[in-house]
């Protein structure tokens, strides 16, 4: 009877699993701050993707760790970039046809300084150059679409990047590839473990000049308005649990497909409590995901995706 009258439901097809792809072969390196999550070479990532497909997950969100980094984030937009290679391999594997491949579009994993855009420095002072960064971000999105990405997902938070990406995709013959914008991405302390996973910590300063102030809900709505006006097809809210009110406000205001990213810090703090026996793992995991779904997310990017799918089976 409880199931019959339940108002909010979870299902595996609404869960997206992030993968961190690294160079090499046979590599499966656990991330120390994220138990059960790994840096994976392409061959190992294929095995992980096949497991996700067998569990009925909705898709994968791909991040790359390049073999080399530079000021221009060359590995992000190179035709032989690590995510581009992974996408091509995945598209040749029919077992993965049920999975939507979402390519994160950002420069932080690929720049030598770890920022999400091009940096101009003058002694101890620095500035993220918006327009030159947007040009590289659009170039990256087009490269990922050519490699086979089903969706491109800009997470950089530069102004004007959605319009630039849309123009680059259309010019390249990829009019049907949707843009899923991290339209409301806050400067958050909950990203810490991800920066270990993606080796993307800034070498100086922080990202508050281009990510949003967590105190500003109304501003987040303006940011989403701007991205929709520029042509965003889907929205991704990040982080999730500390910003459930933002997810709810966006759900009430917009009718685009909208997901939320249960980020690394949310995952890691729950895992730490599980390991100490302070919280019941399965029950707490599912409750955390249900809260995000109840707030209004149509789908959830989460490192719990495989475990949750097994519970839901």
Q: Is 238 an active-site residue?
A: yes
Query: Do 80 and 34 meet the contact criterion of CB atoms below 8 Å apart?
Result: no
Query: Do 132 and 118 meet the contact criterion of CB atoms below 8 Å apart?
Result: yes
Q: Is 69 an active-site residue?
A: no
d(CA 115, CA 106): 9
Active-site pick, 69, 91, 139, 185: 185
Q: How far, in whole angstroms, is CA 184 from its chain's centroid?
A: 12
Return the HEC string of 32-95: CCCCCCEEECHHHHHHHHHHHHHCCCCEEEEEECCCCCECCCHHHHCCCCHHHHHHHHHHCCHH
- Match 């707030």 to its residue by tokens: 295
d(CA 88, CA 262): 27
Q: Just list the catalytic residues.
A: 185, 238
């Amino acid at each position: 009877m409880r199931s019959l009258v339940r108002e909010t439901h979870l299902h595996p097809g609404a869960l997206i699993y992030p993968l961190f792809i690294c160079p090499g072969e046979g590599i499966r390196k656990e991330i120390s701050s994220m138990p059960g999550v790994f840096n994976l070479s392409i061959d190992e990532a294929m095995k992980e993707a096949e497991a996700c497909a067998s569990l009925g997950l909705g898709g994968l969100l791909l991040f790359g760790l390049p073999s080399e980094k530079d000021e221009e984030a060359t590995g992000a937009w190179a035709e032989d970039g690590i995510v581009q290679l992974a996408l091509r391999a995945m598209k040749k594997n029919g077992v993965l046809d049920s999975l939507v491949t979402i390519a994160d579009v950002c420069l932080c994993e690929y720049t030598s300084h770890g920022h999400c855009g091009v940096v101009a420095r003058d002694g101890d002072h620095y500035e993220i150059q918006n327009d030159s960064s947007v040009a590289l971000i659009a170039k990256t999105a087009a490269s990922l679409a050519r490699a086979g990405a089903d969706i491109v997902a800009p997470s950089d938070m530069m102004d004007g990047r959605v319009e630039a990406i849309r123009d680059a995709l259309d010019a390249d013959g990829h009019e049907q590839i949707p843009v899923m914008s991290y339209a409301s991405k806050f400067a958050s302390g909950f990203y810490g473990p991800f920066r270990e996973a993606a080796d993307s910590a800034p070498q100086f300063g922080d990202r508050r000049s281009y990510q949003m102030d967590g105190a500003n809900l109304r501003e987040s709505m303006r940011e989403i308005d701007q991205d929709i006006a520029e042509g965003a097809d889907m929205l991704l809210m990040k982080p999730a649990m500390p910003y459930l009110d933002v997810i709810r406000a966006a759900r009430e205001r917009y009718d685009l497909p909208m997901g939320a990213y249960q980020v690394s810090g949310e995952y890691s703090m729950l895992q730490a409590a599980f390991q100490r026996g302070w919280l019941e793992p399965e029950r707490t995991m599912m409750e955390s995901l249900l809260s995000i779904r109840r707030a209004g997310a149509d789908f959830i990017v989460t490192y719990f995706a495989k475990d949750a799918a097994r519970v839901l089976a």
